[in-house]
């Protein structure tokens, strides 16, 4: 061979290697694809927004036992006559200002501390000498109430807090389940397309091999060196392989449409090159020995069960008779000058104090009983639903682990078949070089080798799909290469 030819072939080889390296570097990895899904898919982003929204809304439960500031300002007049009063007037012009803090405690105590200022102007009255027609009243007031029967010692308030929290947690876990399932389905779509592309490559090579067989036996038949039956058999092989290639191409198109769906792309848009399946790593996949955690749909069912329990408590407490112990204590100051009225309000000589009880009993006993019974049934139903979710999760996990173990064994067997078919093919090629077999036999062995590769791709695809499903369980390892 001439030196120029050697240089020519060397250059071509380097270009080919560079192209392979470029294709490998430009292949879209699973992590990159999932990153694009998170950025581009409105379906995924909506589930994430809902999960974050529900997580933030769950803080509403913290507001139930939080101190609250309240204020009031009022201006007006009162023109009605006070017949029992020795002093007559045309009307009263009044201003009222109040500021205070209220808080309910989780053990049931309801408190309110306020300070009120009232300005009253008597219009059109004849007053004794020295009496001002305008005066201020200042009233600091403390109010306490403790429920003893219905909502006794804060049962309703605590249940209401739990209802608010668990309702939003259930929504959050439901959205998290949808979000996680979306990524798992996207990962499955990635590997479905990757394996479909590989099957198309294998079937394309198999068709070329089948066509080579047909060409070979046709030439022999044309030279009267072969049987016409061999030609018919080769034609049937070409037709069968063409059919298998068509099926593989259809599956690849369907996989590409699903792949593009998770990127919010048009169904028929082209897809980039994807990572090839790493069979060596898949053969080393470890089968989990224990479930990493609960799925989000199970956590949502648990939150729903707690929600139903708290809602049942609310119904029961709401329909009980109420017996509240309450008390009010206020100090009072009144003077024509605001500052003086406020000073007097700091003294106890003119205080006001009340202690009392409030009783309220619902009289429709039948409706009350039915409402309580219904709430208890709803609580039981939610608890049974949670138990069933736990049971099905365990069943699903056991089935998943078993399928992964079987798929791993299937891949091992499929790989052994590929290796055996490859060794058989290489041996037959060696015999052909020695003139001890025919080209036709070698081509048939190539067909066997191609079909074994398809079986291995299918076995790998099953493992990749099962690895993706493991991610539905929390704290599960990243899978899928």
What tens digit of pLDDT does each residue of 73-127 get?
Answer: 999 988 776 655 667 777 889 999 999 999 999 999 999 999 999 999 988 777 7
CA angle 18, 24, 26 (to 5 degrees): 100
**In Å, what is the CA distance from 122 to each residue of 76, 90, 136, 364?**
12, 8, 12, 50
Give the burial class of 42: count Cβ atoms within 10 A of its Cβ; 0-12 exposed, 13-18 middle, 19 or more buried: exposed
**In Å, what is the CA distance from 326 to each residue of 112, 147, 148?**
11, 8, 10
Residue 7 clears pLDDT 50, i.e. is over it: no
Q: Which among 251, 262, 248 is positioned nearest to 190, based on CA atoms?
A: 262
Compute the distance between CA of residue 246 and CA of residue 269 in angstroms, rounded to an integer.
Answer: 19
- Per-residue pLDDT band for 479 (boundaries 50, 70, 90) equals very low
CA angle 43, 46, 51 (to 5 degrees): 130
Residue 9 clears pLDDT 60, i.e. is over it: no
Residue 355 clears pLDDT 90, i.e. is over it: yes
**Residue predicted with more confidence, 176 or 126:** 176
Residue 481 clears pLDDT 80, i.e. is over it: no
Count of helices and strands (H, E) across the chain: 10, 7
124, 92 in Cβ contact below 8 A? Answer: no
- Per-residue pLDDT band for 2 (boundaries 50, 70, 90) equals very low
Compute the distance between CA of residue 264 and CA of residue 37 in angstroms, rounded to an integer.
Answer: 8
Q: Which among 419, 411, 424 is positioned nearest to 459, based on CA atoms?
A: 411
Residue 20 clears pLDDT 50, i.e. is over it: no
Residue 272 clears pLDDT 70, i.e. is over it: yes
Residue 456 clears pLDDT 50, i.e. is over it: yes
pTM of the prediction? 0.75
Residue 70 clears pLDDT 90, i.e. is over it: yes
Q: What Rg, from alpha-carbon coordinates, does the chain have?
A: 42
> Which part of the chain has CATH 1.20.1600.10?
29-57+164-303+382-470
- Segment 29-39 shows an average pLDDT of 91
Compute the distance between CA of residue 255 and CA of residue 192 in angstroms, rounded to an integer.
Answer: 6
pLDDT at 83: 56
Residue 19 clears pLDDT 50, i.e. is over it: no
pLDDT at 226: 67
Residue 460 clears pLDDT 70, i.e. is over it: yes
- Per-residue pLDDT band for 443 (boundaries 50, 70, 90) equals confident
Q: Which among 147, 66, 183, 196 is positioned nearest to 326, based on CA atoms?
A: 147
Q: Which superfamily does CATH assign the domain made up of 29-57+164-303+382-470 to? A: Outer membrane efflux proteins (OEP) (1.20.1600.10)
Please tell me what DSSP assigns to residue 349.
Answer: T
Residue 177 clears pLDDT 50, i.e. is over it: yes
Compute the distance between CA of residue 306 and CA of residue 371 in angstroms, rounded to an integer.
Answer: 19
Residue 404 clears pLDDT 90, i.e. is over it: yes
CB atoms within 10 A of CB 465: 20
pLDDT at 217: 80
Residue 13 clears pLDDT 60, i.e. is over it: no
What tens digit of pLDDT does each residue of 185-228 get?
Answer: 999 999 999 999 999 998 998 898 888 888 888 888 888 776 77
What tens digit of pLDDT does each residue of 42-54 get?
Answer: 889 999 999 899 9
**In Å, what is the CA distance from 59 to each residue of 54, 56, 243, 420?**
9, 6, 60, 63
473, 294 in Cβ contact below 8 A? Answer: yes
Q: Which among 43, 30, 300, 39 is positioned nearest to 179, based on CA atoms?
A: 43
Residue % of the chain over a pLDDT of 90:
48
């Amino acid at each position: 061979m001439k030196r120029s030819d050697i240089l020519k072939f060397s250059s071509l080889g380097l270009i080919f290697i560079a192209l392979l390296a470029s294709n490998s570097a430009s292949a879209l990895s699973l992590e990159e694809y999932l990153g694009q899904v998170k950025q581009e898919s409105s379906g995924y982003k909506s589930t994430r927004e809902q999960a974050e929204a529900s997580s933030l809304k769950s803080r509403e439960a913290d507001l139930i036992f939080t101190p609250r500031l309240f204020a009031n300002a009022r201006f007006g007049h009162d023109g009605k006559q006070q017949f029992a009063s020795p002093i007559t007037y045309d009307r009263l012009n009044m201003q009222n200002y109040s500021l205070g803090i209220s808080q309910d405690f989780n053990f049931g105590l309801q408190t309110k501390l306020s300070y009120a200022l009232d300005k009253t102007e008597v219009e059109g009255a004849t007053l004794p000498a020295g009496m001002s027609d305008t005066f201020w009243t200042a009233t600091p007031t403390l109010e306490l109430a403790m429920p003893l029967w219905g909502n006794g010692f804060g049962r309703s308030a605590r249940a209401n807090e739990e209802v608010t929290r668990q309702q939003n947690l259930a929504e959050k876990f439901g959205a998290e389940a949808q979000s996680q399932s979306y990524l798992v389905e996207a990962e499955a779509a990635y590997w479905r397309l990757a394996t479909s592309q590989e099957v198309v490559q294998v079937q394309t090579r198999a068709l070329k091999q089948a066509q080579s067989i047909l060409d070979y036996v046709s030439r022999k038949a044309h030279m009267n060196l072969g049987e016409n039956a061999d030609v018919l058999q080769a034609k049937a092989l070409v037709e069968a392989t063409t059919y298998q290639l068509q099926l593989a191409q259809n599956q690849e198109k369907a996989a590409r449409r699903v792949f593009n769906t998770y990127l919010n792309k048009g169904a028929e848009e082209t897809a980039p090159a994807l990572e090839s399946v790493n069979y060596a790593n898949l053969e080393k996949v470890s089968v989990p020995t224990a479930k990493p955690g609960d799925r989000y749909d199970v956590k949502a069912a648990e939150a729903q069960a707690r929600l139903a329990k708290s809602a049942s408590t609310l119904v029961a407490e709401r329909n009980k008779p109420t017996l509240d112990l309450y008390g009010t204590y206020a100090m009072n100051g009144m003077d024509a000058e605001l500052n003086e009225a406020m000073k007097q309000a700091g003294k106890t000589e003119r205080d006001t104090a009340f202690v009392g009880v409030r009783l309220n009993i619902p009289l429709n006993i039948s409706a009350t009983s039915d409402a309580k019974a219904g709430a208890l049934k709803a609580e039981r139903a939610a608890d049974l639903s949670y138990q069933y979710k736990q049971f099905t999760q365990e069943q699903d996990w056991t089935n998943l682990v078993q399928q992964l173990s079987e798929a791993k064994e299937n891949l091992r067997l499929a790989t052994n078949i590929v290796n055996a078919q490859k060794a058989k093919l290489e041996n037959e090629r060696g015999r052909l070089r020695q003139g001890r077999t025919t080209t036709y036999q070698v081509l048939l062995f190539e067909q066997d080798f191609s079909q074994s590769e398809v079986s291995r791709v299918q076995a790998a695809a099953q493992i990749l799909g099962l690895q993706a499903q493991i991610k539905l369980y929390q704290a599960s390892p990243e899978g899928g290469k």
